[in-house]
Amino acid sequence: MKSLTFRHLTNSAVTLLMVLATLTVLTPLALIFIHIIKMGLSSLSLDFFTQIPKPTGESGGGMANGLFGSGLLILMASVIGLPMGVLGAVYLTEFGGGKLASAIRFSADVLAGVPSIITGMVAYALIVVPMKGFSALAGSVALALIMIPIILRTTEEQLKMVPGTLREASLALGVPLWRTSLKVMLPSAAKGVVTGILLAIARIAGETAPLLFTALGNQFWSRKLTEPIAALPLQIFSFAIAPYEDWHKLAWAGALVLVCIMFALNLGARVMGRQKRYS
Amino acid sequence: MNSKVHLDNMNVHFGSTHAVKSVSLDFPANSVTAIIGPSGCGKSTLLRSINRMHDLVPTARVSGRILLDGTDVYARGVDPVAIRRKIGMVFQKPNPFPAMSIHDNVVAGYKLNNSLKRGETEEIVETSLRRVALWDEVKDRLKSSAMDLSGGQQQRLCIARTIAVQPEVILMDEPCSALDPIATLKIEELVEELKERYTIIIVTHNMQQAARVSDATAFMYMGEMVESGPTKKIFTTPEMKQTEDYITGRFG
Ligand SMILES: Nc1ncnc2c1ncn2[C@@H]1O[C@H](COP(=O)(O)OP(=O)(O)O)[C@@H](O)[C@H]1O
Ligand SMILES: [Mg+2]
């Protein structure tokens, strides 16, 4: 048997290692945050939220159109992706035992692993080419394709956790299976489902690649689904690589706003996820 | 006596497991029939075949005939949902809907089917709760969560929810096994009263309970129906040695 001091020493050494590892992970994250906050705050102004970008060479301007565009893209992507993801999950848990269900699960997993630029290319081929132009719609479809597998799998996991006795209770009252799924099972899993949805939205809010050749970006206001539209991540990207000091500042401000949005969404998801579930 | 539910050479398989073997049995209207037998002998399986709960189990296969008022519940074109409205079920563990209030649990069968007519709700709630002797205990807190009730109250709530949709038959699968003796006694008294309106089939592993509440008793062993008859006769002068061994507790 090893001596007590030896065990104490090992214990301390391993603890130290773990602390170091944690710090190694946290340090870059903290550095990124601190830098974005520092650079972003100094460039952020009310104009950022109310103005659209100024023409090349002029100073000032903001990303109001990008904020609006991102909002619209996320909304449209949710309109498409949410029902498909949630209802697909209901199908998988309540009705799907067969080959079709396995095929759907497999496809969802593959889809979740596809690089987002490829998803953008798919939307390009599906929407941009036939419609002969970049559009907000194409961008929404690309983002929806990213959302669907995330929502599908998280919702399915949550539905599986709802006790089967509730399903039986409802069926035994003469409630059809489809009503039971939608009115008993789904509401019982609601909190977890919403958590998954928030995480999916957080995921697409920062996506840039799938928008590059779908929504394309726009220097001006656009509210039409059939026209190219500005998006916050796209604007950050194009402003950051531009050779103007002023634009770099706007990009920093945009980055700060984007990070704050992601933070809020993730926090929301955490809060929802922590609330008591049915046990 | 007229037969309400009739099993005719019924078999249930789960894949290659033969869970219920060639059972024929009659359940007279407005009576309580107890199904007893050691755990795993197929009591629940038999019970759940009657309201087609096995429809959801892909491996389950029911054969033979199960007649409700002379109509085969498994006949082609028969809607299992319609069958389940006529044959209610109370489960082993009380399972009220956790997100619903006491009030909403009672009318859950209507609410979930969007079939609640304005004005009749309160009456259904009160009558159903009175019938399970729960009204006085909960009438001041109908809006509170069903999960605040004790286990025994929850089970009576589940019975209220079942009778609220006006079934003709009530299946009970060991409804007292999760309850304390006093709550058990209340449910037993309730069963006694309910048989005036409903045909009751109750599964129990508690032989005293079977003796107390039932008019007829059926003893199952390893998926087979060993013996059935008037409760008094089964408990005093059983014909089969296995039955006698089981009810006298001499069972391995
Ligand atoms: N869903 C199922 N799938 C496979 N086998 C089952 C299922 N339900 C019950 N069985 C089997 O059927 C037999 C009878 O079970 P059950 O009816 O629950 O017994 P009891 O209620 O008398 O305790 C057991 O051997 C059990 O393993
Ligand atoms: Mg059982």
Taking the centre of ligand 1 as the mean of its atom positions, its distance from the CA of residue B14, in whole angstroms, is: 8
Distance (Å, rounded) from C-alpha A152 to C-alpha A249? Answer: 39
**Cα–Cα–Cα angle for B198, B207, B180, nearest 5°?**
80
Please judge whether A173 and B109 are an interchain contact, meaning their C-beta atoms are less than 8 angstroms apart.
yes
3-state secondary structure of A113: helix
Q: Beta partners for B36?
A: B219
Distance (Å, rounded) from C-alpha B25 to C-alpha B37? Answer: 15
Which residues on A lie below 8 Å from B175 (Cβ)? none
Q: Beta partners for B78?
A: none
Query: What are the structural domains of chain A?
Result: 67-231+258-274 (1.10.3720.10)
pLDDT score recorded for residue B223: 96
Q: Do the strands B199-203 and B32-36 form a parallel or antiparallel pair, or are they unpaired?
A: parallel
ipTM here: 0.93
pLDDT in tens, A241-255: 999 888 999 999 999
Which residues on B lie below 8 Å from A172 (Cβ)? 51, 53, 84, 88-89, 91, 162
Please judge whether B95 and A165 are an interchain contact, meaning their C-beta atoms are less than 8 angstroms apart.
yes
Name the DSSP letter for residue B100.
S
| pTM exceeds cut of 0.90 | no
pLDDT at A275 over 70: no
Name the DSSP letter for residue A132.
T
pLDDT in tens, B180-212: 999 899 999 999 999 999 999 999 988 999 999
Structure tokens at B136: 């006085």
Structure tokens at B129: 């709760």
- Whether the CB-CB separation of A158 and A192 falls below 8 Å is answered with yes
User: Which stretches of chain B score pLDDT less than 70?
Assistant: 1, 251-252
Element (H, E) at A249: helix A245-274
Which residues on B lie below 8 Å from A173 (Cβ)? 84-85, 88, 108-109, 112, 161-162, 165
- Whether the CB-CB separation of B190 and B202 falls below 8 Å is answered with no
* CB of residue B23 inside a 6 A radius of ligand 1: no
3-state secondary structure of B31: coil
| pLDDT-based confidence at residue A4 (cuts at 50, 70, 90) | confident
Residue with tokens 């563990």: B93
B225: how many CB neighbours lie within 10 A of its CB?
22
B185: how many CB neighbours lie within 10 A of its CB?
15
3-state secondary structure of B5: strand
Q: Beta partners for B5?
A: B27, B68
pLDDT score recorded for residue A279: 43
> Among B82, B93, B108, whose Cβ lies nearest the Cβ of A173?
B108
pLDDT in tens, A136-187: 999 999 999 999 999 999 999 999 999 999 999 999 999 999 999 999 999 9
- Whether the CB-CB separation of A250 and A61 falls below 8 Å is answered with yes
Query: What are the structural domains of chain B?
Result: 3-95+169-247 (3.40.50.300)
Half-sphere exposure of A171 (CA within 13 A, CB side): 20
